Homo-oligomer: A and B are copies of this chain.
Amino acid sequence: MFEFFYKHLQPIAALTNEEKIILESAFIIRQVPKKVKLLQEGKTARELYFIVKGLIRLFYTKEGEEITGYIFKEGLFASSYESFLRQTPGIQTLETLEECDLLTISYSRLQQLYEEIPKMHIIARKVAEQRFISAQIMLSSFILDSPEERYKKFEQEQGDLLLRVPHHIIASFLGITPVSLSRIRKRLKK
């Protein structure tokens, strides 16, 4: 369980054995079934999740519709960052798309960790930085690309998700309707 965690932290910051022991006491292993809401819109995110196995999606609710904002996969820290970082209620919901193996940590325990393991600051900053850059790339794709181009890029970079995630969820992630996604796929097949 933790080996996978360390493998992903390795390139960011090397960890000593002492630090690993602290981490293993701080993060709680949790198995979560499919379709479980980890965070409800309107609530404050109290936890951060490192995904060892499974998928979590973040979505907004608009006029009764669920509109996907992000799909977290293995090796990522999933959370509603706005809500978690500011400890205020947000408009995002988190839900598992598959059965998940998670490493969970609370906001308050994370603050302790910052003091116990100073290196944690670096890790947190780099993770946030990475997340920011990822948001920036997505944003630029919305500004620069047509829905069809956006789908093509998605296919190249996250094609595996096409097999794991219902297409109507991917459609809303790309900012289009399922109908339009289906048409784009048909168009590209030829």
Contact = CB atoms under 8 A, between A and B. Distances in A.
Q: How many copies of the shown chain assemble into the complex?
A: 2
A60 B143 contact: yes
A97 B82 CA distance: 30
A125 B121 CA distance: 10
A183 interface: no
A67 interface: yes
Interface of A: 60, 62, 67-69, 81-82, 85-86, 125, 128-129, 131-133, 135-136, 138-140, 142-144, 172-173, 175
B62 A136 contact: no
Nearest to A146: B175
Nearest to A133: B82
Query: Which applies to chain A's interface (DSSP): helix, strand, loop or mixed?
Result: helix
B136 A81 contact: yes
Contacts of A60: 140, 143-144
A69 B128 contact: no
A138 B139 CA distance: 8
A96 to B, nearest CB: 20
Contacts of A62: 144
Nearest to A172: B143
Given A81-B136, A136-B82, A175 B142 contact: yes
A173 B81 CA distance: 24
A22 B143 CA distance: 40
B139 A135 contact: yes
Contacts of A172: 143
Contacts of A140: 60, 69
A172 B62 CA distance: 25
A99 to B, nearest CB: 26
A57 to B, nearest CB: 12
Nearest to A65: B144
